């Protein structure tokens, strides 16, 4: 019999290295009503650290809900 085998040879991505948080974007925290912009796990205003970077949003930079200091730094960069 010629049984079909499930393909198990899915190639591993070569450059998948777990290092620092690389994503960036806006998110809000429970202890802050404003949205802060995080880059490499740190808010641009320097007040917050982010452990979970799975829910960052890009764009919407001029929303009134954004932290003013973060926005300033982001737009100045």
Site residues, Zn ion (CB under 5 A):
36, 43, 45, 67, 70
The distance of closest approach from Cβ of residue 72 to Zn ion in the complex, given in angstroms and rounded to an integer, is 9
Continuous H helices in the chain? 68-76
Alpha-carbon distance of 27 to 50, in angstroms, equals 9
As measured in angstroms, the least distance from the Cβ of 34 to Zn ion is 6
Which of residues 21 and 45 has its CB atom nearest to Zn ion in the complex?
45
How far apart are the C-alpha atoms of 24 and 38, rounded to whole Å? 5
Closest CB to Zn ion among 18 and 31? 31
Shorter beta-carbon distance to Zn ion: residue 4 or 43: 43
Smallest distance from the beta carbon of 63 to Zn ion, in angstroms?
13
Contacts of 48 (CB under 8 A, 6+ apart): 29, 32, 36, 38, 42
């Amino acid at each position: 019999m010629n049984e079909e085998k499930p393909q198990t040879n899915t190639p591993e991505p070569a450059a998948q290295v777990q290092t620092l948080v690389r994503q960036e974007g806006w998110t809000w925290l429970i202890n802050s009503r404003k949205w802060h912009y995080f880059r490499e796990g740190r808010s641009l205003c320097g007040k917050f650290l982010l452990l979970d970077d799975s829910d960052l949003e890009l764009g919407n930079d001029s929303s009134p809900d954004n932290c003013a200091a973060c926005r300033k730094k982001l737009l100045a960069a």
